[in-house]
Structure 1
């Protein structure tokens, strides 16, 4: 790609487009496949609780 500047330009545009679509999909359709940080563990998340409540639940 370093030698062919035209091809490099097209590849950069395609990669940018794929990245933008992935970002848009992650923002609008939050599933365990599109949320980048949480990964598959978000599938098992049922509620958002404060840390104190989670610790109390674990200590019981």
Structure 2
């Protein structure tokens, strides 16, 4: 990340990358959980999302991942 003077803030850049990795990992874990519920319990995608209390607005993102 660059500040106003054009210098890099390495600490901020590392923190941002770490947070991005956590978010991506969380998203992948949710998709894996949906898929596992579907396979193990023979639930539909919508039923699995309901079990995990996933908002309807987020469901399409997870549907694409499965």
TM-score (norm 2): 0.42
For CA contacts below 8 A with separation 6 or more, give which structure has more relative contact order: 2
- Which protein is bigger by CA-based radius of gyration? 1
